[in-house]
Structure 1
Amino acid sequence: MPDALEESATPTLVGRSSSHFTRVTRIFAAEMRIRCSLRVVHDLMSSDPDDYGGNPALRIPVLQTPQGVWFGALNVCRALWRRSSLRPHVIWPEDLDEPLLANAQELILQAMATEVTLIMSKLSDASDRNAHHAKMRAGLVNMMSWLEENAQAALAALPTQRDLSYLEVTLFCLVTHLEFRNVLPTASYSHLNLFCQQFALRPSVGETPYRFDT
């Protein structure tokens, strides 16, 4: 049993087990061997920053630590890496200095953000016939088609000397989340599905399954 001091130092992740951005950070926490408690945000329609760990943007995830609070998945992942005694070799977005890799990372994050908007629009009863909604969905389909066509080459272009990359984690969380939330069928994305099958062999993936919090 940890003592009180150790327990008080345990970081708290504010998010949802059904969120792909939250899962990115949970996979990083597992890879870094950092134990985090999860504070679930139950009401995504809330406009109170306190419900989101103090994030004024009203978004998740947020990491609360004795040293301070970190907003957003990338900030959280960096903070977890710095806390880890393992310090694995991680390829971060700023390390992607080739157009193919940089564009892949950009589209992955754009697709994740678009998916969130589509899910939230559905929760707020926005019509599928709304022109902006239709444009976002078309953009998501276009981005996934681009990733299906280019992800194999992008993944092959990643530095071989790495333990993990933010690109791989976000790509896995995106593709698997589309089916989980019934946003877009992914059966036709053979290259992306093969990558997900291979990446899912990591213990950190098995420790962080998508589920709806109760």
Structure 2
Amino acid sequence: MTPPTPAPTSTPTLVGRSSSHFTRVTRIFAAELGVPYAFQVVPDLRSVDAADYVGNPALRLPILRTGPTTWFGALNICRELARRAPEQRRVVWPEHLTDALTANAQELALQAMATEVTLIMSQLAGTPSDDAQVIKLQKSLLNMVSWLDENIQAARAALPRDRDVSYLEVCAFCLVTHLEFRNVLATSGFRALTAFCDDFGQRSSAQSTAYRYDAP
């Protein structure tokens, strides 16, 4: 039997922002998995220079640098962090969600995160609030969060009980707390999501990665 490949020993560098929900997903995973990392801030999200995103052609964050290798996107980064974990942990990845409820919850959590980013960037660009596309995005976001509020309890109950961490729960937590942080959508009326965030927020990984604005 082939022995497991030892985890890399070099410290990776995570490139992102402390105010980014996609970045926070990776930081929570790093904390849950016990993987140390250096942190590099992307100075201006309005930049169209790929060099500011460590060569990511999508001009998005987060990015992980591991020596000569670069990983684009939160899910890719979380997988690499899991490979670097000093101890094997029970992680529930998106591909493990084979029933419609949990798979749809994962999809809508990610779609809502992306929609929120679009709304924030539209605001930074000065797009009028009565723009038809902005109105549609706002409605879409509200619909998705409402669906998640109605289904988060059942979705969590359907996850394996022996899990250490799930990508679905981390994404949902980062989404809901970010909506409040950026004042994009008030979430206090979503009781199930609020209860979920109160519960998940007790983890040290959540408490050590609270949103904040990085110094210029």
TM-score, with length taken from structure 1? 0.95
Alignment match, 2:58: 57
Matches within 5 A, 1:200-211: 200-211=201-212
- Post-superposition, which runs of at least 4 consecutive aligned residues in structure 1 deviate over 2 A? none
| Structure 2: unaligned runs, 5 residues or longer | 1-8
**Residues 2-29 of structure 1: CA deviation (Å, up to 9, x unaligned):** xxxxxx9211101000000000000001
**Residues 78-124 of structure 1: CA deviation (Å, up to 9, x unaligned):** 00000111121000000000000000000000000000000010001
Alignment match, 1:123: 124
Could you tell me how far apart the structure 2 residues matched to 1:84 and 1:163 are? 13
Contact 2:53 2:60 survives alignment (8 Å) = yes
Could you tell me how far apart the structure 1 residues matched to 2:169 and 2:11 are? 27
Comparing 103-112 with 199-208, which one deviates more in the overlay?
A: 199-208
Could you tell me how far apart the structure 2 residues matched to 1:196 and 1:178 are? 12
- Residue 185 of structure 1 aligns with an amino acid whose one-letter code is A
Deviation at 1:67, TM superposition (A): 5.2
Could you tell me how far apart the structure 1 residues matched to 2:54 and 2:10 are? 16
- Residue 140 of structure 1 aligns with an amino acid whose one-letter code is L
Matches within 5 A, 1:13-52: 13-52=14-53
Deviation at 1:34, TM superposition (A): 1.1
Contact 2:35 2:86 survives alignment (8 Å) = no
Name the count of aligned residue pairs: 207
**Residues 129-162 of structure 1: CA deviation (Å, up to 9, x unaligned):** 1101110000000001101111111111111121
Alignment match, 1:12: 13
Alignment match, 2:89: 88
Deviation at 1:173, TM superposition (A): 0.2
Contact 2:12 2:64 survives alignment (8 Å) = yes
- Residue 64 of structure 2 aligns with an amino acid whose one-letter code is L
Could you tell me how far apart the structure 1 residues matched to 2:13 and 2:184 are? 29
- Residue 12 of structure 2 aligns with an amino acid whose one-letter code is P
Matches within 5 A, 1:101-112: 101-112=102-113
Provide the identity percentage: 60
Matches within 5 A, 1:58-77: 58-66=59-67, 68-77=69-78
2:196 paired with 1:195: yes
For residue 64 of structure 1, give the secondary structure of its aligned residue in structure 2.
strand
CA RMSD of aligned residues (A): 1.0
For residue 39 of structure 2, give the secondary structure of its aligned residue in structure 1.
strand
- Residue 122 of structure 2 aligns with an amino acid whose one-letter code is S
Alignment match, 1:156: 157
Could you tell me how far apart the structure 2 residues matched to 1:83 and 1:68 are? 14
Alignment match, 1:144: 145
**Residues 174-196 of structure 1: CA deviation (Å, up to 9, x unaligned):** 00000000000001010001010
TM-score, with length taken from structure 2? 0.94
